Amino acid sequence: MKRKIISILLISGLIAIVSCSKEEAKNRNTALITFLLGNVTYMDNGQWNPAEPGIQLLETQRLKTGDRSAADVQIGESVVRIKENSELILATLFKGEITGLEKNSLELTVGKLLVKPKKLLKGEEFQIKTPTAVAGVRGTQFVVEASKTRDTRISVLEGKVKVGRRIKALEEIESSSVKDEAVIKQLEQKVEENSVTLSRNSSAEVDAKTVDETNGKVEKIVKELEKPKEVSSTQKDTASEEAKVPQKAVDEKVKMVEVMPVKAVPVKRAVAVDMALKKEFDDIKKVEVKEVKAEKEKTYLRIKVEPADATVSINNETIGQGDASVMVLPGTYTIQVSKKGYDPVSKKIIIGAEPVEQNIALGMSRSDVRIKVNPQNARVYLDGELLGSGSVSTSLEPGRYVLNVKAPGYQDMNTSIDVKEGQSLNRNLRLQVKRSEWSLKLDSPAENIVYHNEVMYLSSRDRTVRAVSRTTAKTLWKRTIPTVVSSGFIADGKNLYFGTADEYFYMVNAKNGKTAWRKKLNGAVINDAAPVVTPATVYVASSRGTVYAFSKRGKTRWTRDLSAGIMESPVLAGGLLFCAAQDGVLHAINADKGTPAWTEKIGERFKIAFGGDIVVAVSYYGTVKALSSKNGKVKWEDKFDGTYIVNPFISGKKVVMASLDGTIVALGKAKGKKIFVSDLDQPIRHDITVRGNSLFVSAGHSIFMLNSAGEVAWKHDTGSNIGTSALVSDKQVYVGLDNGRVISVRRKL
């Protein structure tokens, strides 16, 4: 204690002679050694030198203590005590020349540190870093310990301290181009969310191994982001040349990085009652540093800005937002005014003895926008105003704008563009040729569409069944039935076949809509499951598991009760009727007599398709099994991600299935080898239609035609969500829309 008093008295004399040039002292906080004991050294110009009380330390300098040694360093109005065998880096020492606000950061590489900071004002910062942790001070007294293995322990005596894991890979990209990437922002947020605020008598430990693992994963992501991005030809044609990371990819990258939460735990031996430690904190004293009075008197500098919330800085020190008034000494100053979306202004002024007022108005920043359209005669409108035809260029302020592109014989395109500050924007837009031929407005959306020859048959949600001319869209007849059609539709030219929600099955005359016969069932035919119609027999499966065979005159030929309900369309092939039951069992039934042939446990809810000598079952959860149609023996099986709610089908040598997320998968029928995968990026809720080598898919609000390789040959946007499968003829494609319309579009142009 005696030595400490002598040291403080020595400081009083030394402070008066400590000086530096005005340029060196600008915006730098004061860092003084106010007390030392034993062997204490500091690094200057790459060499370790003996330390003495009163020495002023500079930003980035190091201080080291030996055995049974200690040193107090006063930074502004805060004091830290470096305990024995410790090393400290003065990472950041900042004190605003205009505002006087302090922002300090220290790094304890190894050892122990007692921290006694000042009460922070709004806008001030005081951080202690170790190799693995970051402690943000909230006005308190606490202890930081960093072991040789880089593990960290932080204990709070009074007040609060926020502790988080230190991920150096995120610190090292402050000036990198990837700093503003969505992945980095989410990783920073993840680290922030897993920090903890310690209060009195609590502590936290951060182990180096966990931090190193997290840091390694982040480093890999940063390196990947820093690689030059390649832009596909599709992206160049349809979007900005600026490559964008899809949100799904961002989420997947962030999910790969595990940031373990920092946990606060009670201190085993409460620091509050550790009298030796408490006394040592009391002994850490702040030394009064008297500033030399300026020879010149300060004067007012008033700054008025437009817009009113622009940020004002003087000599790179932020004063605040909006109009500002500050007292400054005579001299030369640089005023900086900025706001996102505006061009910044930097203005140098000379201050004398008289007050000075500056009015600074920012102009909104503009970015170059180039839009190229196909066809070249297309007219381009921006927010309703004509920009020109073909390729156009303009300069726009930051913001979102609506683009409308129109050309004779093409569908209008309505899209939006986001103009960002300081970034050029290039868009290539291609209009779709008009495929629409006719549109029929119904009182209620259609749920089933089938056709035979030139007549199309529709069922609607309002219990209406009607016949419509495929060429003129004229209604030939319509009738209302007691309840809605709950099954799929089948038409054979003479009759229509369907089930209703009140558990009846109908055969209706196709020429006039009159009922030929109807049968009461044990359960309804639901989930759009279609009956099977042959020249002599109609096969129907109900939701209660009863399978029926009716003659064309409505006579019951046989029935078969299965152990569970059937909600999928049966398949007839090779004299067998295949039924997928809700309990996960596939039943093969003799179609002529209704007797069981074989069963196979699939294990999940599934749908089936037949081709040659195999039956393929695709479950709701993506399990695929190919079975012999003769005996049910499994030939091959596989598992895919996604949810599958539409019927698979077999076309030639391919098994094709589609998931709810818009993915179409084609497998080899013989061994299940993957042939192609197509992602339409729109939900597939309706069965795919096959014509020749082409696939027709209604997904979301678009109709797609895919070739045999799974490539999109054309796409037609209907402008509304599609509520039916695509019905395909030689020249036309028909779909029912959720807005109540049925439309016809040209299959070929």
472-484 confidence digits (pLDDT tens): 899 999 999 999 9
Distance, CA of 303 to CA of 359 (rounded, Å): 6
Q: What three-state secondary structure class fits 273?
A: helix
Stretches in the chain below the pLDDT threshold 50? 1-25, 230-243, 270-273, 292-295
Predicted confidence at residue 295, as pLDDT, reads: 44
What letter would DSSP give residue 21?
-
Task: Provide the terminal-to-terminal Cα distance of the chain, rounded to the nearest Å.
Answer: 97
- Domains parsed from the chain with CATH numbers: 2-171+197-207+260-283 (2.60.120.1440), 299-361 (2.60.40.1120), 367-430 (2.60.40.1120), 435-464+680-749 (2.40.128.630)
Predicted confidence at residue 623, as pLDDT, reads: 95
Beta-carbon contacts of 185 under 8 Å, excluding residues fewer than 6 positions away, are: none
Q: Count the residues in the chain.
A: 749
Distance, CA of 17 to CA of 105 (rounded, Å): 26
Predicted confidence at residue 436, as pLDDT, reads: 77
Structure tokens at 231: 């832009």
**Residue 434, exposed/middle/buried by CB under 10 A (0-12, 13-18, 19+)?**
middle
Beta-carbon contacts of 493 under 8 Å, excluding residues fewer than 6 positions away, are: 452, 453, 510
Distance, CA of 376 to CA of 430 (rounded, Å): 10
What letter would DSSP give residue 271?
G
User: Beta strand pairing status for 324-328 and 663-668?
Assistant: unpaired
For the chain, state the CA radius of gyration: 39
Angle, alpha carbons 426-429-432 (nearest 5°) = 175
Angle, alpha carbons 679-683-685 (nearest 5°) = 120
Predicted confidence at residue 516, as pLDDT, reads: 97
Structure tokens at 655: 């098994």
Beta-carbon contacts of 279 under 8 Å, excluding residues fewer than 6 positions away, are: none
What helix, strand, coil percent values describe the chain, rounded to 5? 10, 50, 40
Distance, CA of 26 to CA of 315 (rounded, Å): 10
